[in-house]
Structure 1
Amino acid sequence: MKVRSLVLAFALLTAAACASSNDDNDDAGRAPPGPMHPAVASFFDDFHASRYSLAARHAQALDGAAAAAPQDGPVSFVRGLAHLWHVGEFARDPRPNGPALETEARASLELFSTAKQKNPDDARVDCFLGLQQLNAGRAIHDDALVQQGYATLEAGVRAWPQFSLFCKSLAYDGLPASDPDYAKAVDAAFDTYEACFGEKADRNHPDISKYLDRATDTGPNRACWNDWIAPHNAEGFYLYWGDLLVKQGKVDVARIVYNNAKLVKEYPKWPYKSLLDDRLNANLQAKAALYWDADPKNDPPLGGASAGHACTYCHAATADE
């Protein structure tokens, strides 16, 4: 489908990487997150309820808020997130407008470039900006822009590894399983584990049982668990990481990572537990083989994209839609 390929080339949504409106990395994501612009608060109300039918309305409202308050850094950032939600989950729209979505997707690079100017010290913006630079550069065959994207992502990793290593995984996860660089997506997930828990990961058994008492919604390690902005960030991350491992052919390790999601305290309330059940009940060896055959079109989507919820499978506290 032309719309899908063009849109996803420009708008790569991240589950764990979607962030709150606060521009201070030490405060963002707490519950409650503090005073917010009304348009930002309204967006998060519906984003957390997975009301995708309202995504375009929120993106437009934040366009207006940004125009009215051009120096407001948080509004600028969340404006980009709102557009990415609308574009990234377009498969949920019963009548997607292909040309309009393509235009909206192409604007993402400019939106996050502006957001970075207005939030220069916010490492989260590097994640989104780097991915947009990378995807745009790949789409238009601009190697300089691709390299700029990698550099931006690495800056984010240096500033906040617990958050931005996930973004690094996203930079490589679309490569064929046979591509040597695909391993960088899996390596970044293991690096996330090590950044979060401060220990070398057992690459054959990356169980999290002994770390459960470290769960927090404050400080840099909040990106390792769940908080107000991402009520099921941890469950979504382990689902995604497990998918990366299946794609690599590491099915036994993937099962361990998938089951990590069930250890997270908030797991019983996760609206998208069925995604994990689908994996654990599937023939994962057969699924892994699909990534290695000669037909890239039959590769199973990763994470929440398998259900059209590329962002809300981590960020929705309820699933109203």
Structure 2
Amino acid sequence: MILIASAGLTVGCNALAIGAAPDKAPSAERTPAAVQADGLFWGTLHGGQYERIPEALTALTGAYLDNPNDAVTAAHIGWMHIWRLSERARLEPARDPAITDHAVLARKYFEEAVHLNPREPRYLGFYAALLMTEGAIHRDEKLRRRGYYTMRDAIAAWPEFNYFTAGYGLSSLKHDSERFAEGLQFQWLTLDACAGERVDRVNADFSRYMRLETKDGPKRVCWNSWIAPHNFEGFFLNFGDMLVKSGQPQTAVKMYANARHAPEYDAWPYKNVLEDRIRNAAANVEAFRQEHPEIGVPTIMVRSRFACMGCHQL
């Protein structure tokens, strides 16, 4: 009894000591090193310089260690790790299993970003997606479900942004799975949220909504911006890919064509990819369903060399 009581007292003291520790608070100002690292981050991202990710991570991590209370720096580190993992097709034919560690690191840094700035729904959406990714990698169903329901909270906080975030992550799943179908539905709901009404599921011509373009408010993420210079085109490229994978190539062609409405379309680095998708939509159905496609075979956007750059490269 004495041993049990002693153990209980120890556990209680431990919990009390941990609970009494000060919470990690966000910093009010950013350091010069963080601002400088931001410049390298954006230059690397917008330049599509995948090979410079280690250099950017070194600068960002150094700035973070100097001030680990900076949510923006934490998020940027997380983003670099996401990019490294997402476009791993660039590293083929060398397939390094250790690439999956970037999911763990990305999740950790977005967890920090969410803790430091819980009012930023984009951080929450990326964090949720990474929980699901990490859960899938480690076959941890509890972690995967935690990510799924965290994503539901993120969607509620910013539908225009996080319906896409959720659906994009689910696009890698099997074409006949319940979750893939849900991811495809999330893309339709993204369009609905951006249009302010239910978009026609048969003739999804988005030209009638181009007048709604804005740089302000929550709907700004529906359009191109300095953060994602080709967000509009990339969205429709992915949406078309998901429709092809689901066995709807005719609808996919209409969806792909919406990307042409962007004023920046002619300057888009992946314009030729989309035009090829339009020509070969029917032929790509089976190719996009391959879980382990051969090198050189067309693959769905989320598994491609432009999984991130389709929206973010200048």
Alignment check: 8 A CA contact 1:56 1:83 kept: no
Runs of 4+ deviating beyond 6 Å: 94-97
Matched with 1:33 is none
Matched with 2:285 is 288
Matched with 2:161 is 163
**Aligned partner (choices 225, 228, 245) of residue 223 of structure 2:** 225
In the TM superposition, residue 175 of structure 1 has moved relative to its aligned partner by 1.8
- The amino acid that maps onto 1:47 is L
In the TM superposition, residue 222 of structure 1 has moved relative to its aligned partner by 1.1
In the TM superposition, residue 158 of structure 1 has moved relative to its aligned partner by 0.5
Where in structure 2 are there 5+ consecutive unaligned residues? 1-25, 27-33
Q: Provide the C-alpha distance between the structure 1 equivalents of 2:94 and 2:222, rounded to a whole number of angstroms.
A: 34
The 1:97–1:240 alpha-carbon spacing in structure 2 relative to 1, beyond 3 Å, is closer
Matched with 1:101 is 99
The 1:239–1:108 alpha-carbon spacing in structure 2 relative to 1, beyond 3 Å, is same
Alignment check: 8 A CA contact 1:166 1:189 kept: yes
**Alignment of structure 1 residues 74-113 onto 2, 5 Å:** 74-93=72-91, 98=96, 101-113=99-111
The 1:288–1:123 alpha-carbon spacing in structure 2 relative to 1, beyond 3 Å, is same
In the TM superposition, residue 304 of structure 1 has moved relative to its aligned partner by 6.3
In the TM superposition, residue 301 of structure 1 has moved relative to its aligned partner by 2.4
In the TM superposition, residue 248 of structure 1 has moved relative to its aligned partner by 0.9
Higher relative contact order, chain-length normalized (CA < 8 Å, sep 6+):
1
Quick check: which one's helix share is greater?
A: 2
Matched with 1:209 is 207
In the TM superposition, residue 208 of structure 1 has moved relative to its aligned partner by 0.7
In the TM superposition, residue 290 of structure 1 has moved relative to its aligned partner by 4.1
Q: Provide the C-alpha distance between the structure 2 equivalents of 1:200 and 1:252, rounded to a whole number of angstroms.
A: 20
Q: Provide the C-alpha distance between the structure 1 equivalents of 2:102 and 2:120, rounded to a whole number of angstroms.
A: 24
Alignment check: 8 A CA contact 2:135 2:144 kept: yes
**Alignment of structure 1 residues 276-315 onto 2, 5 Å:** 276-282=274-280, 284-290=281-287, 296-298=291-293, 300-303=298-301, 305-306=303-304, 308-315=305-312
In the TM superposition, residue 189 of structure 1 has moved relative to its aligned partner by 0.5
In the TM superposition, residue 201 of structure 1 has moved relative to its aligned partner by 1.5
In the TM superposition, residue 99 of structure 1 has moved relative to its aligned partner by 5.8
The 1:113–1:89 alpha-carbon spacing in structure 2 relative to 1, beyond 3 Å, is same
Alignment check: 8 A CA contact 1:56 1:86 kept: no
Q: Provide the C-alpha distance between the structure 1 equivalents of 2:271 and 2:288, rounded to a whole number of angstroms.
A: 24
Alignment check: 8 A CA contact 2:172 2:303 kept: no
Pairing 1:316–2:313 present: yes
Alignment check: 8 A CA contact 2:86 2:302 kept: no
Matched with 1:249 is 247
Matched with 1:26 is none
Q: Provide the C-alpha distance between the structure 2 equivalents of 1:256 and 1:97, rounded to a whole number of angstroms.
A: 35
Alignment check: 8 A CA contact 2:155 2:163 kept: yes
Query: Which shifted more, 46-55 or 106-115?
Result: 106-115
TM-score of the two chains, using structure 2 as the length reference: 0.83
CA-atom RMSD in angstroms: 2.1
Q: Provide the C-alpha distance between the structure 2 equivalents of 1:97 and 1:285, rounded to a whole number of angstroms.
A: 29
Q: Provide the C-alpha distance between the structure 2 equivalents of 1:52 and 1:172, rounded to a whole number of angstroms.
A: 23
The 1:173–1:39 alpha-carbon spacing in structure 2 relative to 1, beyond 3 Å, is same
In the TM superposition, residue 296 of structure 1 has moved relative to its aligned partner by 3.9
Q: Provide the C-alpha distance between the structure 2 equivalents of 1:60 and 1:162, rounded to a whole number of angstroms.
A: 32
**Alignment of structure 1 residues 2-17 onto 2, 5 Å:** none
- The amino acid that maps onto 1:185 is G
**Alignment of structure 1 residues 93-172 onto 2, 5 Å:** 93=91, 98=96, 101-172=99-170
Pairing 1:269–2:267 present: yes
Higher Rg = 2
The alignment partner of 1:309 has SS state of coil
In the TM superposition, residue 97 of structure 1 has moved relative to its aligned partner by 8.3
Q: Provide the C-alpha distance between the structure 1 equivalents of 2:288 and 2:234, rounded to a whole number of angstroms.
A: 21
In the TM superposition, residue 93 of structure 1 has moved relative to its aligned partner by 4.2
Percent identical pairs in the alignment equals: 33
Q: Provide the C-alpha distance between the structure 1 equivalents of 2:274 and 2:49, rounded to a whole number of angstroms.
A: 21
- The amino acid that maps onto 1:310 is A
Matched with 2:30 is none
Pairing 1:234–2:232 present: yes
In the TM superposition, residue 187 of structure 1 has moved relative to its aligned partner by 0.5
Where in structure 1 are there 5+ consecutive unaligned residues? 1-22, 24-35
- The amino acid that maps onto 2:270 is Y
Matched with 1:51 is 49
- The amino acid that maps onto 1:46 is T
In the TM superposition, residue 47 of structure 1 has moved relative to its aligned partner by 1.0
